[in-house]
């Protein structure tokens, strides 16, 4: 595996490669990331991964400085997965001057759910991903569906800019007890890690009840959201949101949408202790 930090050197190595597949990451790799590498290998050649902790997507009180950086362990994992190039730029490599040009997703998709509680987050994500696409110029790129809203925003960004990149989804990878794998799981104490699977339980309860409903309407769904928020709060969580939305655009469903049985997804973000976890389930 070649490890490259310089943009021009990366382009030189990839010149003439028009089937490259790409998985951008922030490192501290786990099985969820590695599953994306395997999807990438099935849909393109060579496989390129990146590791870059992107300052632009961290808020002023978020964990940029303490975000886990495990480069040597990550390198070994990527080598085992047959990754051809690891693009690991420094901030000076990727942002040699202040990144004043930014990509803003539309308010109706970027300022809801995660965007509401983490202002500027998706601006930072879209900006770095667009720049990474410019560096790698892949045929396909793979993103995990655990970050459901992020996946949708990036897919729409590619469509609107007519980028020659196919965005492929990777299903959420979970531990045996159901907790979605995340780099931030390492922040959890033993007691918090024991409690953490109840985030999925809250989503499963909502999904099961929505499926069982004989008649769906907005009031019923709102009641399910509120009950799930209460369930988590009573267990010591601090939930930001639990929301049932349309899969196609993450808008709140109308009664007409419900009558038409449009596909739904339930999404959540909640803190247990100091650790903020996100998850989702399609319905």
The residues annotated as belonging to the active site are 33
- Contacting residues for 208 by C-beta, under 8 A, at least 6 apart: none
Alpha-carbon torsion (133, 85, 75, 152), positive or negative: positive
CA distance 216 to 222: 11
Which residues are within 8 A (CB) of 164 and not within 5 positions of it... i.e. 6 or more apart?
139
Q: Both tokens of residue 141?
A: 């790129």
- For residue 226, what are its two tokens? 């509120």
């Amino acid at each position: 595996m070649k490890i490259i930090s310089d943009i021009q050197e990366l382009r030189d190595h990839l010149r003439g490669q028009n089937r490259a597949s790409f998985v951008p990451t922030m490192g501290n790799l786990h099985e969820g990331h590695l599953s994306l590498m395997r999807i990438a290998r099935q849909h393109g050649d060579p496989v390129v991964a990146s590791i870059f902790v992107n300052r632009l997507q961290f808020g002023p009180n978020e964990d940029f400085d303490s975000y886990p950086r495990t480069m040597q362990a990550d390198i070994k994992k990527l080598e085992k997965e047959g990754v051809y190039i690891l693009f690991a730029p420094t901030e000076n490599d990727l942002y040699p001057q202040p990144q004043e040009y930014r990509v803003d997703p539309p308010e109706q998709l970027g300022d809801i759910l995660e965007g509401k509680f983490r202002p500027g987050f998706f601006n930072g994500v879209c900006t770095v991903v667009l720049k990474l696409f410019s560096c790698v110029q892949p045929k396909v790129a793979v993103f995990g569906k655990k970050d459901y809203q992020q996946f949708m925003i990036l897919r729409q960004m590619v469509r609107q800019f007519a980028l020659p990149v196919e965005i492929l989804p990777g299903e959420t990878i979970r531990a045996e007890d159901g907790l979605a794998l995340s780099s931030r799981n390492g922040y959890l104490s033993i007691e918090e890690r024991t409690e953490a699977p109840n985030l999925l339980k809250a989503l499963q309860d909502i999904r099961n009840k929505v499926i069982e409903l004989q008649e769906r309407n907005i009031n019923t769904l709102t009641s399910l959201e509120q009950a799930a928020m209460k369930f988590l709060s009573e267990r010591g969580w601090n939930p930001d949101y639990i929301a049932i939305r349309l899969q196609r655009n993450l808008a709140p469903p109308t009664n007409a949408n419900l009558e038409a049985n449009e596909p739904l997804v339930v999404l959540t973000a909640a803190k247990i202790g100091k650790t903020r976890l996100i998850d989702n389930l399609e319905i």
